[in-house]
Amino acid sequence: MAVEEIRSWIADSRNIVFFGGAGTSTESQIPDFRSATGLYQTTSRHAFPPEVMLSRSFFMERTAEFFDFYRACMVHREAKPNAAHEVLAQLEQTGKLRAVVTQNIDGLHQMAGSQHVLELHGSVHRNYCMSCGKFFDLNHVTSDETMVPRCDACGGIVKPDVVLYEESLDWDILSKARKHIAEADVLIVGGTSLTVNPAAALVGEYGGDKLVLINQSSTPYDSRATHVIRDSIGKVLKALVS
């Protein structure tokens, strides 16, 4: 069976890499983007589609509207790590998991205890002044939901340290992620449709024969995977280490 074989890979490996997307956090009640109940299907009260409101140009031209959407739909302060985050943190602590590469911006991997997390799209927990570079925590952005957050040192606009549409990924983080994936013994991919590049293309860097895809829907990489599992990521990961 697939689970038994993957369990043996995990037992024997000390170079596992996990690559995750929005589906990793849906069990923490954070909506994904493209499913039937995802963000792109449930934000009709806003005048523009999410892809527009999460763009660099929209942020610069309609900053107040950006923050209205961002605070309402992208920040989930009540969310807690789920079983998937916890299992991955445990695997890292035992020396088996080398890195978590995530497209998520929620910080739940770190909250669960993971230390080596490569956040391809940034984090809601980091925010910086566009004028002087001073950093701020999430409270600074969410404390007053009627205002565009401003720097308390120079008055500049404080921007979330997340990658918006029309912006490039951080090259250093991307390079580290590419290296970890290329060198992994076992690559576990979970909760991502693998359709948004350049992040999704990172899976193509893996040349090994132990590629596991855990996702509720099909992906462009299914035919290349050693095992494809259509189930809850938390449930599957718990079964793999039990």
Q: Which residues are identified as catalytic?
A: 121
In our burial notation (b when 16+ CB lie closer than 10 A, e otherwise), range 198-222 reads ebbebbebbeeebbbbbbeeebebe
At 129, the amino acid letter reads C
Q: Is residue 164 within 8 Å of residue 124, measured between CB atoms?
A: no
Q: Helix %, strand %, coil % for the chain, to 5?
A: 40, 20, 45
163-175 burial, b if ≥16 CB within 10 A, otherwise e?
bbeeeebbeebbe
Residue 225 one-letter amino acid: A
CA 225 to chain centre: 21
92-96 CB contacts, 8 Å cutoff, 24+ apart:
92/116, 95/14, 96/10, 96/13, 96/14, 96/16
d(Cα 65, Cα 35) in Å, to the nearest integer?
Answer: 24
Distance CA 46, CA 68 (A): 9
Any alpha helices (H) in 19-62, and if so which ranges? 50-53, 56-61
